Amino acid sequence: MSAAIFLGVLLGAIAIGMPIAFALLFSGIGIMLSLGQFDPQIVVQNTIGGADNFVLMAVPFFILAGEFMNAGGLSKRIVEMAGAFVGHLRGGLGYVAIIAAVLLASLSGSAVADTAALAAILVPMMRSAGYDVGRACGLMAAGGIIAPVIPPSIGFLLFGVVANVSITKLFFAGMVPGAMMGLALVFAWWLVSRKENTRLTPKLSWTVRLQLIGKGFWALLLPVIIIGGLKFGIFTPTEAAVVAAAYAMFVGVVVYRELNLAAVYQSLLSSARTTAVVLLQAAMAMVASYMITVADIPGQVGEWMQVFSGNQLLLVTAMMVVVFLAGMVLDFIPIVLIFTPVFLPIAIQAGVDPIYFGVIFIMNCSIGMITPPVGVVLNVVASIGKVSMGQAVKGVVPFLIAEALVLVALVLFPALVMVPASWWK
């Protein structure tokens, strides 16, 4: 009964256009009223507690790091470096986009920021070279959603806070699956671009390539600092976010000299706006999460899923199908905040490793950002690329299928996540 009330209030509030944060708040209050336990003090305490979390301090700093990287020239040099090695191949700019997407994902945990940076730089280049613009936009969107899977990941941060699992372990466990997404995009792009009649760029000499590597060295050093610092216990994920933001600002101001005072101000303003949205949703979701626990909604959902209780694979598959469908109508963060406290206890009870579940869950949520009709990343790239949503949807289909197949492989073969993750212990 409580689960039905939660879903009814949540979906009803979203249907009338209520912001997700307040829809989550009222769904929690709806459960309270159904249980006869309404207490404003509990609402206030959980709302404040939802935002008053040291780990969540990493969110604004990783967002700020992404803004500094885009404004300070780090993103641009990553693209130039990738272009130096594969830009001359047939469909070369597509391979540049994929390589740059993987490298940017290791610098910033924001799919929207990475996609915006890639699309702004590469879509005009691909349009002038004769590429199908809708397909190019689809590739940018599919590449951008690798960011929440490869560390540093804002998605893993949120999941770790809600699920109370090690964020560092999630970071390391996401590295190989993120790389697999990139390889799947390479294969998909090779299939769809083989017969495209596009203008090829000249092959650069090794002298020029080494010069571009030298220019991009400072950008490439950031993921080494973050992963190395986490691996050797030099700093926590929250401290890593501060280091990333400070480093990106230093390189943009002192080394590349593209980050001036006005750009710093705009970066701070943009990251503050994004952070406000994320943390407000996290705060309001804590009320719903608390009441989900009190009402034992995981137990109720578990009863509905009893048919799968004897088969771990079928249980995880059923959960992933639900999350995939939810991704068509909900944004990334609400899905993480809504489904984590519901599904994770059921998965753990069935013997599923929480780190493994976190990786495939966050990957599934990421894929939701390029599934219509909501598809926030798809909307961003369509806007920047000046194409219709229909063109972007058509262009993203082959890459959406490729990344969905990677998710299927991880569901069928958990060792693809767990074995590489064990290498970092």
DSSP-assigned states of every residue in 133-148:
HHHHHHHHHHHHTTTT
Mean pLDDT of 275-297: 80
Most confidently modeled of 3-17, 253-267, 291-305? 253-267
Mean pLDDT of 253-258: 90
How confident is the model over 13-49, as pLDDT tens digits? 878 888 878 888 888 888 888 888 888 888 888 888 7
Quick one: how far is CA 21 from the chain centroid?
A: 19
pTM exceeds 0.75, yes or no: yes
Q: Where are the alpha helices (DSSP H) in 330-388?
A: 332-349, 354-367, 376-385
- Whether residue 296 is predicted with pLDDT greater than 80 in this model: the reply is no
- Whether residue 5 is predicted with pLDDT greater than 70 in this model: the reply is yes
Most confidently modeled of 77-81, 218-222, 235-239, 247-251? 247-251
Residue, of 74 and 262, whose pLDDT is higher = 262
Single-letter amino acid code for the residue at 44: V
d(CA 154, CA 363): 12
Lowest mean pLDDT among 180-184, 233-237, 300-304: 300-304
10 Å CB burial of residue 106 (0-12, 13-18, 19+) is buried
DSSP-assigned states of every residue in 259-319:
--HHHHHHHHHHHHHHHHHHHHHHHHHHHHHHHHHHTTHHHHHHHHTGGGTT-HHHHHHHH
Return the percentage of the chain with pLDDT > 90, whole number. 22
CA distances from 18 to 25, 27, 107, 333, 420 (A): 11, 12, 33, 16, 42
pLDDT band at 177 (very low <50, low <70, confident <90, very high): very high
d(CA 137, CA 385): 7
Contacts of residue 149, Cβ cutoff 8 Å, sequence gap at least 6:
105, 155, 174, 177, 178, 181, 359, 362, 363, 366
How confident is the model over 353-362, as pLDDT tens digits? 999 999 999 9
Quick one: how far is CA 305 from the chain centroid?
A: 28
Token digits of residue 74: 């780090």
Return the percentage of the chain with pLDDT > 70, whole number. 96
CA distances from 306 to 55, 160, 376 (A): 35, 26, 34
- Whether residue 194 is predicted with pLDDT greater than 80 in this model: the reply is no
Token digits of residue 255: 């080394």
- Whether residue 212 is predicted with pLDDT greater than 90 in this model: the reply is no
Residue 353 pLDDT:
93
- Whether residue 221 is predicted with pLDDT greater than 70 in this model: the reply is yes
pLDDT band at 424 (very low <50, low <70, confident <90, very high): low
d(CA 381, CA 383): 5
d(CA 212, CA 83): 10
The C-alpha angle with vertex 393 and arms to 100 and 130, in degrees rounded to 5, equals 60
Lowest mean pLDDT among 35-39, 51-55, 235-239, 310-314: 51-55
Token digits of residue 101: 């997407």
Residue 70 pLDDT:
80
- Whether residue 231 is predicted with pLDDT greater than 80 in this model: the reply is no
d(CA 221, CA 348): 37
d(CA 169, CA 173): 6
Residue 1 pLDDT:
66
**Residue 419 · residue 197 · CB < 8 Å:** no
Mean pLDDT of 212-217: 86
191-197 contacts, C-beta under 8 A, 24 or more apart:
191/398, 192/135, 192/398, 193/90, 193/91, 193/94, 193/131, 193/135, 194/90, 194/91, 196/90, 196/91, 196/130, 196/131, 196/132, 197/130
3-state secondary structure (DSSP) of residue 129? coil
Q: How many domains does the chain have?
A: 1
- Whether residue 373 is predicted with pLDDT greater than 80 in this model: the reply is no
Residue 139 pLDDT:
93
Contacts of residue 354, Cβ cutoff 8 Å, sequence gap at least 6:
163, 165, 344, 347, 348
Q: Dihedral sign, CA of 104, 110, 111, 113?
A: negative
Residue, of 255 and 70, whose pLDDT is higher = 255
- Whether residue 162 is predicted with pLDDT greater than 80 in this model: the reply is yes
How confident is the model over 388-418, as pLDDT tens digits? 888 888 999 999 999 999 999 999 999 999 8
For 44, the domain range is 2-422
Averaged pLDDT score across all residues of the chain: 85
How confident is the model over 132-153, as pLDDT tens digits? 889 999 999 999 999 899 988 8
How confident is the model over 312-362, as pLDDT tens digits? 899 999 999 989 988 886 778 888 888 888 899 889 988 899 999 999 999
Residue 86 pLDDT:
79
pLDDT band at 294 (very low <50, low <70, confident <90, very high): confident
